[in-house]
Each structure stands twice: as C-alpha cells, then as structure tokens.
C-alpha cells in the first residue's frame, strides 16, 4: 500500500489534556491538534484536503487489561492517544495515510498511498462537484437541447464513480441530473427523482472539471439516442403539504411520568450507559457512526466491540454507465458524517436522551454533530406469560427495550440503524431502509427485466442492500469459539420406530472462512466459551446468532462488484482478530479493486478455535422496486438477534416486575359495548388474572 514514506517534522505542541479513556472518540481539541501537526509536516501554505481525522484505536491486547482494571476499581494502565488521518494535497491525486501520537505531538507514520486507493467523499466536496457539473458549458449545451421551460431548476446528484477497470484509475464522480417540477421550481423540497434527465457528466476530483458527458440509455437496450425536447411529465411529491392528509388519527403519546430507567454517564467524549443489568460504552466516528464497546450484562463480559462494518448496494442495470453503480455507503461516505440531527417527537418518541459528536471537516477543523444518537425505552409487548388454568392465575411480564438509534441520509436513501437491548439478556441489531429510490429516465411504454417503472418516464432499477455487522466477542473471556448446530432426523430403528425423532449436532469451526446458513438443517451459529460451563447442564456458555437468510450478491465472481464486496457472498465470515481489521469491504472502498477486506483475511486460513476471533454477520434485501415504494419508500425492516444459550441458570427476565394495571395505566374503551361471556378480570391489587372458565 505504501509507495513512499514522507518525512515529518516533530511538533512541539503535544496535547495538554486528553480524555482518559482509551476508547473515547477524539475531542475537538484533539482533532485540531492533529491537523496542525500534519500541516506542520509540510511546507507553509501547502493546501491539505482532510478526509478523516479519527481515533486510532489502541491494540485490543492493551485495552483488555485496562477494562478489567476499570471494572475492578484498580489503578489504570497508561494508554497513549493516537489519531488516524487521511488527506490529499488538495486537487491532486496525492492521497496520504498518517498516524499521529497525540501524547508526544509526533507523526508516527505519513504514507503516500499507491494507485487505485482513493478516499471517501465529503460534504464540501460533493457540493463543489454539484456546482462544477451544472456550471460546465458542455453540460449546459446538452441541457439546452431538452428545451426545458424557463426557470426550470436542474439538480445534480453526484455518485461515487464505481469501478469496471476501464480508464478508472483517476478519482471521479458520476453525476445524474434531475429537475424540480418546472411548474413549481421554487419548491426546494420538490421530488426531483420523479423527473430524471438523460444526461450524466463525469467530474475529475483533481481538476474539479467535467471530463466526459455520458448520454444515458432510455430504451430496452444500450442504444443511445440523441437528446430531444423534454416532454413535461407530472410531479410526484412526498412532502405533506402536497397530500390530502388523514383526519382520523388520534394522538398516541409515550409518557414516562417518573423519567426513563436508564442512566447515561458522560466520560470525556464517550458515554457509559446502564440499564436493566446492561452496561456498555458508546462511541461515534466518521465511518461507522455509533460503536458499542465493552458490552456487559450483570457484570459479565459479552462483547468487546459492536458496529456496523460495511454495506454494499449493487444495481442490476448492465448498461454503461449504470453498470458501475455499486455504493459502499460507509466506506465511500461515512455513517457518522451522514448522521441526521434527530428531532424530538419525530424520529424518536418518549423520554429521549440525545448524544452529540464531533467530527472533522475538510480543512482539519471540527464539524459539530448534534443529536446523532437517540436513546429511549420502548414497550415490546409481552415478554413472557403463563396461565395456570387450574387456579386461574396468570403471571405475565411485559418486555421493555432500550433503543440506541441513529439515522443516516445517503443522498436519496435513509437508513435507520438501531441497537436494541431487552431484559432477557438479548441484543438486536435493526436496519430500516427508507427514503427515495434512485431513479433514471425511461422511454414511455418501455419495460425492462431489471427494473420497475414507478412513475411516467421513471425507472427504479433492482438492487441489493447487503449489510455487515462486525461482532468482536469477549464472552466471559478472550478464548472463544464459533460453532454451529444442525438438526438431523434419526434413522428409523427399534428406538425410533415411528420415524419422528431428531437430534441436534454441534460442529466446531476451526478455520477462518465464510460460512452459510442452511435452513433445511436449521443451521444456527453460536459464540461459545468452552472454559465456562453452565452450572445446571454443564454446557458451555454461549450466545446464538439469529440472522435472516438472504440472496447473496448476484453479480458473478469475475465482476468488479463481487471482488469489491468481499463480505456479500456468505452469511458469516469468521477471522482471527487482528487490530485494524474493522471494515469488511476493506479500508478504502472508493473505486476499489478488492483483495483488502474480509474475504482476503479469511483466506489466511487461520485457526479460530478457542482464540480471539471476529465475526462479520451479513443480512440483506433484494429490492425489486414496486410502485408503492414511490415517491418515498415505506420502511423495509431487517433484524438480527443475539441471544444467550446456556449462559444463565434460568430465564434472566424472571425478576422483571409483573405487568399490572396500576403501573401501566391502560384505558378501557369498550365499556359501553357488549362484553363477551369470557372476560378478563383485574384483581384488587391491579394484577392481571386469567379468564373465568
């Protein structure tokens, strides 16, 4: 990766004070100090374009003793603070990777990276790309051929260029053009995706100029037609003032009169959460957004680190230039920098606690990120129940969940990302995909097998959303193993004369690699600690992974899509832990070639049995658009579960107080209506009893 090592002069201004915790995100002062140290390593007036300034996480082997000392109230070992930096010499291809020691003010590493290694986009750059596309005289000439009504506002949507191996060594953007409703051009929130145009400029990030203008195919094949006058089409708006809104929806208020049951302790730039025996640290960074560290239940260690590692969205249109549409939203942009400022009563309901963050900008200064994580509790229905029909007594407990939610906007799409904890020792990771479909122009009457016409002249192409959750386990210690269970039928025998018996067989995964679910055998992956046994049945303590199966990446194995999306071909990847291997698609995904992500790490064929390993768990959607997905898409929901197996000696939610009316205060609406002959009754103490028989 390194083509050249750049000498760096020492900086005389080390950080005077830094957050004490080694996993805390960089503070505002640390970010600006880092950029000043990097700037000082170059001749004066060198214009640097910073892409990332973030925490260089210390080695796990150094942090684990720190965490144990922290939890046992012992003296804490000293761990220095370091920053990871990516930057360009502005408007050049000279892309660098640096590490700065914030304790000493020294640049430990400053590498000029080689060809085909490119940085993520950033907000300032994307705005500049939009302007460059629309200011270009050649683009203006093509737009003029459309003969749009006077006053029409054209919108440019920059896309990461992608990769196909054809003249793509330079870092570029492919812009897709749209327009606002020409009859209402002053509406800034007009849904321009309903009015796509067949013009697509390509911009170089070195010159910030248009280097090519692609005319888009709009028929059944790759034929390019001359630009003709645009036939005005109706708009398709999603904002509420353009709808006839329902009037029969009554308020549903989430009220906690005594406040929330969780506690948040701010420690420098990170936060420690405690709730219902759970305790963990929350961090936030430019690429992954929300990261959870040191996750424990009832003081028992479960996970060292949890985060969304990567996502890939490959599209199905094989024609140029659409064949390169394959977004890596975390690596190409960043879940942290794209996080929404969440609004009370809109994005999160109830008693809400918000977390803020501080990220870097392109000049090496800071970007305050307010309300990027919302924390709240929610009712999740009945947690457990049993009725003794002989006595009529029902024991019932409602399930309460703790939700940590972040929402990111990636141009047209939104992703609602949440870690969800419950009182039974379980963790869910939930993804909700919404927003607006990425659209392109299509001729009237044309149908293609790789997309859906969702509005006159508008094609929404089939695409996949493939997500990778990185799970770094520390289940009651570091030496864990991955196993999978399968259910098999017993052969008919004197013991099984009716052919109905089946058994579960456990297999230990010994070698790094990609592994898949098998629904026909109910294959289920578990993280185990063989050195800690359940006191009742003697089984190893474990957590099982329940992730929905999905269609793996459809692009063939020789395609750039497949080579780049290294996580998209298996349900699970397991690799031996190595510091720095955080991103399933590799550290640099923009116009990448593959070979630097989890598939390559798995090919080391390391031993992963009874050692420190990392799981990458995939889930996905094959999104075949429907007309109901437009102009804005109802949420598609994916959920992954991590549940204890033989970890406790009984149901860990037994001690949750019973569900009672004097606590829940529900309202009865059916008093004036006919009551059924079998009715529930409420006892004098407010507890719920069984129906009378």
Q: What is the DSSP string of 228-296?
A: -PPPP------SGGGS---S-PPP-----TT--S-EEEEETTEEEEEETTEEEEEEEETTTEEEEEEEE
User: Global pTM?
Assistant: 0.94
DSSP state, 36? H
SS3 349: coil
Enclosing H/E stretch for 70: helix 60-71
The one-character DSSP state at 214 is E
Q: For the chain, how many helices (H) and strands (E)?
A: 8, 32
* Candidates 413, 415, 484, 562; catalytic one: 413
Spatial CA neighbour of 325 closest among 563, 122, 163: 163
Examine residue 47 and say whether the peptide bond preceding it is cis (omega within 30 degrees of 0): no
The whole-angstrom distance between residue 151's C-alpha and the CA centroid of its chain comes to 39
pLDDT at residue 672 in the model? 60
Active site residue 413: yes
Question: Phi-psi category of 561—alpha, beta or left, where left has phi over 0 and alpha has psi -120 to 50?
Answer: alpha
| CA–CA gap between residue 459 and residue 149 (Å, rounded) | 23
Angstrom distance (rounded) from CA 400 to CA 421: 9
Query: Helix 123-135 to helix 137-144 angle, to the nearest 10 degrees?
Result: 60
d(CA 199, CA 182): 17
Half-sphere exposure of 525 (CA within 13 A, CB side): 27
In this structure, the strands spanning 366-388 and 524-533 are: unpaired
Vertex 649 angle, CA 644 and 650, to 5°: 80
Is residue 381 within 8 A of residue 653, CB to CB? The reply is no
- Residues 16 and 81: their CA atoms lie apart, in Å, by 12
Q: Is 329 left (phi over 0), alpha (psi -120 to 50) or beta?
A: alpha
Cα three-residue angle 73-75-80, rounded to 5 degrees: 120
Q: Pairing relation of β-strands 502-509 and 633-645?
A: unpaired
Distance CA 468, CA 247 (A): 41
Whether the CA torsion 428, 434, 440, 441 is positive or negative: it is positive
CB contact at 8 A, 374 and 352: yes
3-state secondary structure of 140: helix
Stretches in the chain below the pLDDT threshold 70 = 1-19, 672-693
Helices within 492-545 (DSSP H only): none
Query: Is the Cα torsion angle 207, 208, 213, 214 positive or negative in sign?
Result: positive
DSSP letters spanning 414-458: EEEEEEEEETTS-EEEEEEEEE---EEE--TT---TTEEEEETTE
> What is the structure's pLDDT at 691?
52
* From 294, 317, 329, 428, the catalytic residue: 329
Q: Provide φ and ψ at 31, rounded to 5°.
A: -65, -50
Cis peptide preceding 307, ω within 30 of 0: no
Beta 172-179 vs 154-160: how paired, if at all?
antiparallel
Residue 167, CB-side half-sphere exposure with 13 Å CA sphere? 5
Whole-number pLDDT of residue 671: 77
């Amino acid at each position: 990766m390194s083509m050249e090592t750049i000498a760096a002069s020492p900086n005389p201004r080390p950080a005077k004070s830094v957050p004490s915790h080694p996993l805390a995100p960089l503070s505002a002062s640390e970010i600006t100090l880092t950029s000043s140290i990097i700037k000082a390593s170059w001749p004066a007036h060198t214009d640097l374009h910073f892409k990332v300034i973030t925490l260089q996480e210390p080695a796990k082997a150094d942090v684990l003793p720190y965490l144990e000392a922290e939890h046992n109230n012992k003296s804490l070992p000293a761990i220095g603070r370091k920053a990871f930096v990516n930057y360009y010499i502005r408007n050049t291809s000279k892309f660098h990777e640096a590490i700065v020691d914030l304790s000493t003010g020294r640049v430990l590493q400053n590498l000029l990276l080689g060809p085909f290694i490119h940085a993520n986009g950033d907000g300032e750059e994307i705005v500049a790309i939009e302007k460059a596309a629309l200011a270009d005289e050649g683009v203006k000439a093509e737009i003029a051929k459309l003969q749009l009504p006077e006053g029409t506002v054209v919108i440019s949507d920059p896309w990461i260029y992608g990769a196909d191996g054809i003249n793509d060594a330079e870092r570029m953007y492919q812009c897709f053009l749209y327009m606002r409703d020409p009859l209402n051009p002053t509406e800034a929130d007009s849904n321009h995706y309903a009015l796509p145009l067949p013009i697509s400029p390509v911009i170089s990030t070195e010159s910030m100029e248009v280097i090519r203008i692609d005319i888009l195919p709009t028929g059944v094949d790759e034929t390019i037609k001359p630009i003709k006058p645009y036939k005005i089409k109706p708009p398709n708006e999603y904002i509420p003032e353009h709808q006839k809104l329902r009037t029969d929806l009554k308020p549903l208020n989430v009220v906690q009169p005594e406040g929330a049951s969780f506690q948040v302790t701010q420690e420098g730039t990170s936060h420690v959460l405690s709730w219902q025996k759970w305790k963990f640290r929350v961090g936030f960074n430019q690429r992954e957004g929300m990261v959870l560290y040191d996750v424990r239940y009832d003081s028992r260690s479960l996970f060292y680190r949890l985060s969304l590692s990567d996502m890939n969205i490959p599209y199905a249109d094989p024609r140029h230039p659409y064949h390169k549409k394959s977004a890596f939203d975390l690596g190409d942009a960043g879940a942290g920098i794209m996080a929404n400022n969440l609004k009370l009563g809109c994005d999160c309901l109830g008693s809400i606690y918000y977390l803020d963050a501080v990220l870097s900008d392109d000049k090496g200064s800071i970007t305050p990120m307010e309300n990027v994580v919302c924390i709240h509790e929610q009712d999740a229905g009945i947690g457990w129940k049993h009725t003794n029909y002989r006595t009529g007594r029902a024991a019932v407990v409602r399930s309460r969940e703790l939700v940590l939610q972040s929402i990111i906007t990636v141009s047209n799409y939104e992703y609602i990302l949440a870690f969800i904890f419950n009182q039974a020792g379980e963790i869910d990771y939930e993804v909700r995909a919404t927003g607006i479909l990425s659209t392109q122009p299509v001729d009237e009457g044309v149908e293609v097998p790789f997309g859906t016409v969702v509005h006159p002249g508008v094609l929404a192409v089939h695409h996949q959303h493939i997500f990778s959750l990185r799970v770094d386990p520390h289940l009651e210690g570091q030496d864990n193993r991955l196993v999978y269970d399968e259910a098999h039928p017993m052969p008919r025998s004197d013991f099984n004369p009716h052919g109905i018996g089946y058994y579960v067989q456990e297999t230990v995964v010994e070698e790094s690699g990609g592994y898949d679910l098998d629904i026909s055998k109910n294959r289920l992956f578990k993280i185990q600690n063989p050195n800690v046994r359940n006191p009742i049945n003697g089984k190893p303590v474990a957590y099982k992974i329940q992730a929905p199966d999905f269609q793996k990446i459809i692009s063939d194995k020789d395609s750039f899509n497949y080579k780049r999306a290294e996580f998209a071909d298996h349900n699970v990847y397991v690799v031996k832990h190595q510091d720095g291997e955080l991103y399933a698609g590799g550290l640099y995904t923009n116009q990448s070639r593959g070979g630097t992500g989890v598939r390559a790490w798995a090919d080391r064929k390391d031993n992963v049995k009874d050692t420190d390993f990392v799981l990458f768990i995939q889930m996905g959607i094959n999104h075949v658009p429907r007309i109901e997905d437009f102009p804005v898409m109802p949420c598609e929901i994916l959920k992954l579960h991590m549940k204890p197996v033989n970890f406790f000696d009984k149901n860990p939610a037994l001690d949750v107080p019973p569900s009672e009316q004097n606590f829940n205060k529900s309202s009865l609406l059916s008093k004036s209506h006919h009551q059924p002959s079998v009715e529930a009754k409420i006892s004098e103490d407010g507890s719920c009893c069984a129906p009378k028989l």
